[in-house]
Amino acid sequence: MRRAVVLIALVVGLAAARLPSGSLARLTATGSIAGSSLAAGSWVLYLHNAPTPPTAATKAQFGLTMTTTTSTQATLQNYDSDCDSVAGRELLRGTALATESGLCKYANWRTSAYAAARPLKGTVTLRIWCRKTGTGGTNPTLTAYLRDYNPATTTYVELGSAAGAVVTNSGTAFAQLALTWTLSTSVAAGDQLELKLVAGGGSLDANLAYDTTTQLSRLVLLQQPAT
């Protein structure tokens, strides 16, 4: 009986250990985060505004963080007050290319730099809460690019991308859009993993929600076992 109590205490202690922000969190047991089932070996990164948790409106910011920490903020703030007056982050339709540079046309998040090469092999899913900026019209397409960013040279290597239509009308609750692609690559030592979102097509723009307790937009990797 004493041995069983010790083992239970050890398991609880390990489960409560905090992982460092800015790194990919490896989940060692099947569980559920924000209603989504995650298999063993998954990694998850949450998208944040700055500062986080967000407590007030901010101007559009770039090079935001994505970390293993979930938000404690219940209310969605305006993350680009210099672009619009609505809550969240609005992406105006542009080229929809990874090179998009318009002030109000893209948003990007990065991890901290990895001390050693970070393998990425498996299925990647971005779960982003979003909706259109109006009703009717034709739907915009949201495109996600995953890139290896070298902070020393400020250059990028594209690792993968996926796109999907934003179909939820404004005035209704944000809906979760899942974009999925497969990777068999790695992030070089000293580099950062970057996610960049852009919008294009259609007749309405895209509005994103993240960094709240109910809108936990996140990047998930279902890692394949090492062979």
Which tens digits make up the pLDDT trace of 78-115? 999 999 999 999 999 999 999 999 999 999 999 999 99
Tokens for 219, please give them.
């990047």
Write the CA distances from 59 to 44, 70, 100, 159, 191, integer angstroms. Answer: 27, 22, 18, 29, 27
- Quote the pLDDT of residue 226: 59
- Quote the pLDDT of residue 43: 86
Which of 84-98, 150-164, 213-227 is predicted least confidently?
A: 213-227
- Mean predicted confidence (pLDDT) in 119-147: 95
Q: What average pLDDT does the structure give for the chain?
A: 85
Model pTM score: 0.83
- CA 52/CA 211 separation, integer angstroms: 8
99 Cβ contact list (under 8 Å, min separation 6): none
The DSSP annotation for 9-33 comes to HHHHHHHHPPPPTTSPEEP-S-EEE
- CA 212/CA 46 separation, integer angstroms: 10
Q: Quick check: 1 pLDDT over 70?
A: no
Write the CA distances from 120 to 26, 178, 205, 219, 224, integer angstroms. Answer: 12, 19, 31, 12, 9
- Mean predicted confidence (pLDDT) in 160-172: 97
Which tens digits make up the pLDDT trace of 6-21? 333 333 333 333 333 3
Q: Are 151 and 63 in contact (CB under 8 A)?
A: no
Between these two residues, 28 and 71, which has the higher pLDDT value? 71
Q: How confident is the model at residue 136 (pLDDT cuts 50, 70, 90)?
A: confident
Write the CA distances from 47 to 52, 55, 148, 197, 224, integer angstroms. Answer: 10, 15, 17, 12, 23
- Quote the pLDDT of residue 9: 38
What is the total residue count of the chain?
A: 227
Tokens for 128, please give them.
């982003």
Residues forming a β-bridge with 197: 107, 144
- CA 168/CA 132 separation, integer angstroms: 6
Domains of the chain: 22-223 (2.60.120.260)
- Quote the pLDDT of residue 77: 98
- Mean predicted confidence (pLDDT) in 141-165: 97
- Mean predicted confidence (pLDDT) in 172-196: 96
Write the CA distances from 24 to 104, 222, 223, integer angstroms. Answer: 28, 12, 11
